[in-house]
Amino acid sequence: MSFYAEPAFFLLLVPIVGIAAVLGICEKPLARYGCAASIVMLLLLFSRSLDSLAFFVGYLAYSFALTRYVTRLFTEERPGRIARYRVALALQIAPLAVYKVGVVVQPDFLGFIGISYITFKTIQVLIETRDGLIKDMSTFEYLYFLVFFPSFTSGPILRSRKFVKDMNATRTRDQYLELLYRGAGWFILGAVYKFVGASLAEWAMWFLPSVIGTDTLGTAIAANIVYALGYTFYLFFDFAGYSHMAVGLGFALGIEVPRNFRSPFRAIDIKDFWNRWHITLSTWLRDFVFMRVVRAIRHRKLISSRLLTSCLGYMCNMTLMGVWHGLTVDYLAYGIYHGLLLAGCELIERKWGFYKKHKCDRVFRICSWAVTMVAVIFGFALFSGQVLHNPLA
């Protein structure tokens, strides 16, 4: 069974949400029920592949052992704990790295659907345990955090401290009803995005270029532009649809899943775009990659220029984002491309006098928006393989 795609999934949501609603309205705790429902849904998700189920269960046990080890390192202040923590962090990243490398040559290599998103969760717990932000998580809290099914396969990316706070919250009937109503709105919007918006965009992506044709240079350029636009809107409606439905389901289970998209096509520069597109990914990378790269460079005094340091941080950030999507030329090019865009945006904001003088002007903002949209659409053409492997050729 596939999440957010097959009719069986949506039919199962009726009793799952119905029971959650009864419990919430009766002011009963939802955590144990939500965890049990998540485990059942994940068993159904992996029911077609026992190998994937075995890898997933093994990953849970492996991650739990590493988390407990790092927790003991810092609660007991063991000698050499920083070096040991770094080894544990590398071991936590290793399964995803092995999977990403292996899947290039063998599609069903060691791994399971959702390994990319669950790895973000496990890494975050280790890092914040090392930073002293997480003192301890119970076995149940950690398990529920990892298996929470609404965001398991496609995000949004959850943060453990907010998740634990929500799962342990005591809500009144009125508070839960407000959450449930909001969740219903998010879920309906997500369904419309995915099954109407994404379907229409996908149809346009393939049908319109075939009507235009590629017989001449002009029609070939027009067909490729239409295809790129169609793919951009298909990706948005499909991904935002998944994310909005996950937000809605999370609310029904008492978990305030963070919003993942906020009008990305209104962005006036590339930084603004990444504050609106796949928000939980960009903020995760900001907090756990960009800030730490910049801090390490400054602490070790490797580069004296703050501007160059920030640009290098953006390049590391977005290249890693490309690698996370997959070890293909298209994804790597997409990550490097956005790293260069963000570095260029940083350079313009700090050094270009014309920008500082006119950044609030209406005409300048309109031109900046237009340039940003062209850059974003070209980036998605890289991401989809259109640039390097033209499907219309």
DSSP letter assigned to residue 328: S
Neighbouring CB atoms inside 10 A of 207's CB total 12
Please report the pLDDT score of residue 278 as a whole number.
95
Question: DSSP label at 288?
Answer: I
Amino acid of residue 311: C
In the set 325, 338, 358, 389, the catalytic residue is 325
So what's the pLDDT on residue 214? 83
Supply the Cα-derived Rg of the chain in whole angstroms: 23
Q: CB of 351 within 8 A of CB of 305?
A: no
- Cβ contact 313:341 at 8 Å: no
Dist CA 175 CA 261 (whole Å): 25
Q: What is the pTM of this model?
A: 0.93
Q: Which positions ≥6 away from 103 have C-beta within 8 Å? A: 109, 111, 326
Contact between residue 253 and residue 151 where contact means Cβ atoms under 8 Å apart: no
Question: Would you state the pLDDT for residue 331?
Answer: 94
Residue closest to 157 by CA, chosen among 88, 258, 230: 258
Report the C-alpha gap between 297 and 358 in whole angstroms.
32
- Residue-level pLDDT at 109: 66
Residue 358's Cβ-count burial label (10 Å; 0-12, 13-18, 19+) is middle
Annotation marks residue 389 as catalytic: no
Distances (CA, A) of 378 to 208, 222, 229, 273, 322: 18, 14, 9, 14, 15
Q: What is the DSSP letter of 265?
A: G
Tens of pLDDT along the chain (393 residues)? 889 999 999 999 999 999 999 999 999 999 999 999 999 999 999 998 888 899 999 999 999 999 999 999 988 877 888 999 999 999 999 999 888 887 766 666 677 899 999 999 999 999 999 999 998 889 999 999 999 999 999 999 999 999 999 999 999 999 999 999 999 999 999 999 999 999 999 999 999 998 888 888 888 899 999 999 999 999 999 999 999 999 999 999 999 999 999 999 999 999 999 999 999 999 999 999 999 999 888 888 888 888 999 999 999 999 999 999 888 899 999 999 999 999 999 999 998 889 889 888 999 999 999 999 999 999 999 999 998 888 876
